[in-house]
Amino acid sequence: MLKEIFRSDLIQLPEEKNKIKIIKRLVDLLFEKGLIKDKDALLGGLIYREDLMSTGIGLGIGIPHLRFEEIKNPVIAVALQPEGIADYESLDEQPVRLVILILVAKHQHKEHIKLLSEIIAHLKKNDVLPRIFRATDPQNIYDLLLNG
């Protein structure tokens, strides 16, 4: 499923080290690419979700995710901040460096769960994460996320 929806032009290497600024940057990217129309509603939904509970799952990974009305097909946008995002709370209290934003349509609960598990399983493979954390360009991140 990941190979069908993940795009190299939806990967950022932001200078920002603030969770909301990085999420906003990904939302802006989705808007610029024409994948969403109401970036304020999306950002508000993602911030609300983060306020309920941080999506920092550990191992340096944050996965903000939302079922969003405007989305027809699943969308993934990625940001890598190798130095870490200071205010991104994580289950293991390690700095989040890789942010993987997942959006699905309101009715796509199964797809949502499948995407989450596929991404996490892939990232847990041997040396994929350390190599992603050292990546210096979006194409390299794309290749590592898809192929390891």
- What's the pLDDT tens digit per position in 22-37? 999 999 999 999 999 9
- Tokens (6 digits) for 139: 């194409």
Q: Which domains does the chain have, with CATH numbers?
A: 2-147 (3.40.930.10)
Render pLDDT for 125-146 as a digit per residue (tens, 0 to 9).
Answer: 878 999 999 999 999 999 999 8
Burial class (CB in 10 A: 0-12, 13-18, 19+), 8: middle
- Phi, then psi, of 38 in degrees rounded to 5: -110, 85
Determine contact, residues 137/9, Cβ cutoff 8 Å: no
- Phi, then psi, of 2 in degrees rounded to 5: -60, -45
Catalytic-role residue among 65, 107, 109, 112: 65
The pLDDT confidence band at residue 2, using thresholds 50, 70 and 90, is: confident
Determine contact, residues 19/52, Cβ cutoff 8 Å: no
- Record the pTM: 0.95
Return all residues near 32 (Cβ < 8 A) that are at least 6 apart: none
pLDDT value at 79 more than 90: yes
DSSP state, residue 59: T
**Active-site residue 65, yes or no?**
yes
Q: What's the mean pLDDT in 90-104?
A: 95
User: How many other CB atoms sit within 10 Å of the CB of residue 132?
Assistant: 22
Which one has a higher pLDDT value, 3 or 22?
Answer: 22
Handedness of CA 23, 26, 108, 7 (dihedral sign): negative
